């Protein structure tokens, strides 16, 4: 079940009891994934409508990015596929990043949980990953000072570090997570990571003494995570941007890969829901083989954020049954089912649930 901080302050686009959310299908498998979610929402009578915006990596269409951002600001909430990022053009800024930066979606939150019946090396993983989502190595400030010498700036600010650390401690209190581990490299990046470490340590000591806190160097954390991940179970890993990206991907791999885990991007005013590992899956597109689980879970996260807990729980419970009781698995986790068959199974479970509760 999703554990998402509900939106308490933001103005949401709710008319006649229905909520409008922005859908950004993006590239690769994104459009078909949004279609799966739409099919489930329609079947389950979820009172949410999508306003679909086209946005891809075509730079000649700059207005698309502006229109998408305006739409998210209007609706408050977005369900998003990944937009391809071109490597070869240094002028091309990742549009995914632009959206997060412009909307100040400072916290990336992933819940990596083992799903019984999904084949993995380790069992009983249950870790919340909280990653700073706007600065650090992702500031996008790079230049070639003289030929052959490049400077890439990693920006670390006290305010943003404090904001993300506080978010993690508050999350721990609210959802009863038993500890917070701050992941850093302060032995080498003494000033930048040093500031992050100092802020997290002081906050733990002065304001959140009831939460167990530890610091761990990122290289060791990587090794610990792949060899004994259960030591982090029940807790939170708190990370600056780049380490957070890498460690989160390791954790997703541990519980079954890119098709399973959702990721939320939360700010003070807006929220964008997507998959945890943010892949486009271009080579899988159009074949009905990509695992829709991560996207469906992102949709459930979104419903929790909107306060539609019953819909979120119904869909996520039925999805869980599809994966564990009926063992409907797509190829990425060793199964033979298509994505559509998985979704059909979820719908059948919803139907059964309704029959049980005489609802209709």
Interface residues with ligand ATP (CB under 6 A)?
28-29, 258-259, 279-284, 290-291, 294, 332
**Smaller CB distance to ligand ATP: residue 341 or 351?**
341
Shortest distance (Å) from residue 151 CB to ligand ATP: 28
Shortest distance (Å) from residue 291 CB to ligand ATP: 4
Tell me the pairing of strands 149-155 and 179-184: unpaired
**Smaller CB distance to ligand ATP: residue 20 or 345?**
345
- 58 Rama class: left (phi>0) / alpha (psi -120 to 50) / beta: beta
Shortest distance (Å) from residue 85 CB to ligand ATP: 10
User: Under a CB-based contact definition with an 8 Å cutoff, are residues 301 and 273 in contact?
Assistant: yes
**Smaller CB distance to ligand ATP: residue 29 or 118?**
29
**Smaller CB distance to ligand ATP: residue 29 or 318?**
29
What sign does the dihedral 228-231-232-233 (CA atoms) show? Answer: positive
**Smaller CB distance to ligand ATP: residue 114 or 330?**
330
Residue 189, both tokens: 């990046």
Shortest distance (Å) from residue 259 CB to ligand ATP: 3
The secondary structure of residue 211, as a DSSP letter, is: S
E strands in the chain? 14-15, 18-24, 48-52, 77-80, 107-113, 126-132, 136-146, 149-155, 179-184, 212-217, 236-239, 262-266, 271-275
- In the three-class reduction of DSSP (H, G, I as helix; E, B as strand; rest coil), residue 281 is classed as coil
Q: What are phi and psi of 132, to 5 degrees?
A: -65, 135
**Smaller CB distance to ligand ATP: residue 240 or 259?**
259
Shortest distance (Å) from residue 328 CB to ligand ATP: 14
Residue 237, both tokens: 């890993």
Q: Which residues pair with 215 in a beta bridge?
A: 182
Q: Please, what is the Cα angle at 340 between 127 and 334, to 5 degrees? A: 55
Shortest distance (Å) from residue 29 CB to ligand ATP: 6
**Smaller CB distance to ligand ATP: residue 95 or 184?**
95
Shortest distance (Å) from residue 247 CB to ligand ATP: 17
Q: Which residues pair with 256 in a beta bridge?
A: none
């Amino acid at each position: 079940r999703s554990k998402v901080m509900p939106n308490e302050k933001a103005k949401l686009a709710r008319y006649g009891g229905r909520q409008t959310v922005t859908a950004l299908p993006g590239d690769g498998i994104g459009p078909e994934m949004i279609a799966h979610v739409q099919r489930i929402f329609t079947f389950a009578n979820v009172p949410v409508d999508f306003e679909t915006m086209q946005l891809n990596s075509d730079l000649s269409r700059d207005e698309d990015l502006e229109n998408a951002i305006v739409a998210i600001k209007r609706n408050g909430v977005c369900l998003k596929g990944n937009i391809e990022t071109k490597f070869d053009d240094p002028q091309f800024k990742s549009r995914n990043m632009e959206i997060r930066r412009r909307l100040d979606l400072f916290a990336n939150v992933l819940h990596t949980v083992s799903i019984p019946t999904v084949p993995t090396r380790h069992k009983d993983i249950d870790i919340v990953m909280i990653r700073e989502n706007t600065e650090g190595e992702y500031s996008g400030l790079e230049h070639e000072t003289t030929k052959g010498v490049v400077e890439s700036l990693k920006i670390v600010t006290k305010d943003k570090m404090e904001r993300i650390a506080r978010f993690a401690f508050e999350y721990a209190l609210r959802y009863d997570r038993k500890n917070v581990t701050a992941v850093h490299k302060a032995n080498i990046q003494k000033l930048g990571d040093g500031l992050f470490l100092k802020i997290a340590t002081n906050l733990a000591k002065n304001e959140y003494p009831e939460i167990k806190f530890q610091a761990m160097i990122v290289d060791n954390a990587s090794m610990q995570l792949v060899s004994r991940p259960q030591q982090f179970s029940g807790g939170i890993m708190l990370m600056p941007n780049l380490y957070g990206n890498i460690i989160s991907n390791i954790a997703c791999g541990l519980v079954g890969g890119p098709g399973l885990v959702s990721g939320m991007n939360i700010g003070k005013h807006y929220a964008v829901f997507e998959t945890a590992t943010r892949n486009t899956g271009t080579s899988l597109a159009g074949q009905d083989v990509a695992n829709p689980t991560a996207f469906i879970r992102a949709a459930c996260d979104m419903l929790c954020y909107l306060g539609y807990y019953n819909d979120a729980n119904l869909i996520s419970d039925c999805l869980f049954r599809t994966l564990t009781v009926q063992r409907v698995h797509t190829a990425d986790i060793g199964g033979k089912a298509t994505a559509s068959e998985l979704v059909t199974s979820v719908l059948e479970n919803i139907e059964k649930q309704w029959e049980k509760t005489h609802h209709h």
